[in-house]
Amino acid sequence: MRAGVIFDDRGRETKPKPPKPRPAQPPPGQTGSPGHREVTADDLAAAVNIASVHYGVRPYDVTTETQRRRATAARSLAYAVLRQAGYSLTAIGIAFDRHHTTVMAGMRHTADNEAAVAAAYRGFLLLRSLPKEP
């Protein structure tokens, strides 16, 4: 055998395939495809705080891997609030260190409770409008 030679399944000599080009990295402030913007730290904190108060859990529990029912419900509410704020599923997933399909599944749990999502979103907007501390 010669080095650098590739044989197909019938034993014929073939040329090696060129490597696939890597996709260009998105510019800073974008997460994947055009139009995606990263979740800001302030928006993430506001959504997590609103959801944790609504379900009576610690904000830490909303952002960790815990699978307690109240914590996962609060996490789902935070997903829904951020989604309503205009963030993409991918951006929300990156903020919570989860896949976007996990975010979709979590949001299905809040689909039944539109009143809670609307109230949480109003609280989120209120927190966002408060002046930042110097």
Which residues, at least 6 apart from 118, have a Cβ–Cβ distance to it below 8 Å? none
User: Does residue 88 register a pLDDT over 70?
Assistant: yes
Total domains present in the chain: 1
pLDDT bracket for residue 74 (50, 70, 90): very high
Three-state helix/strand/coil letters over the chain: CCCCCEECCCCCEECCCCCCCCCCCCCCCCCCCCCCCCCCHHHHHHHHHHHHHHHCCCHHHHHCCCCCHHHHHHHHHHHHHHHHCCCCHHHHHHHHCCCHHHHHHHHHHHCCCHHHHHHHHHHHHHHHHCCCCC
CATH number of the domain that residue 64 is part of: 1.10.1750.10
Within-domain flag for 36:
no
Check residues 18 and 60 and name the one with the higher pLDDT: 60
29 inside domain: no
Is 91 part of any domain?
A: yes
Taking residues 12-21, what's their average pLDDT? 64
Distance, CA of 90 to CA of 93 (rounded, Å): 5
Q: Which residue has the higher pLDDT, 36 or 64?
A: 64
What are the distances in angstroms from CA 33 to CA 5, 37, 92?
Answer: 38, 9, 14
Domain assignment of residue 23, yes or no: no
In a domain, 119, yes or no: yes
The verdict on residue 103 lying in a domain is: yes
Residue 59 is part of which domain span?
A: 41-129
58 located within any domain: yes
* Structure confidence at residue 7 (pLDDT): 61
In a domain, 33, yes or no: no
**Does the structure show a pLDDT above 80 at 17?**
no
- Backbone φ and ψ for 9, nearest 5 degrees, come out as -70, -15
Largest CA distance in the chain: 71
**pLDDT (average), residues 25-51:** 74
Does the structure show a pLDDT above 70 at 32? no
pLDDT for res 57 = 92
**Overall average pLDDT of the 56-84 stretch:** 91
CA distances from 96 to 6, 7, 92 (A): 44, 45, 6
Confidence band of 1 (pLDDT split at 50, 70, 90): very low
Average model confidence (pLDDT) across the chain: 81
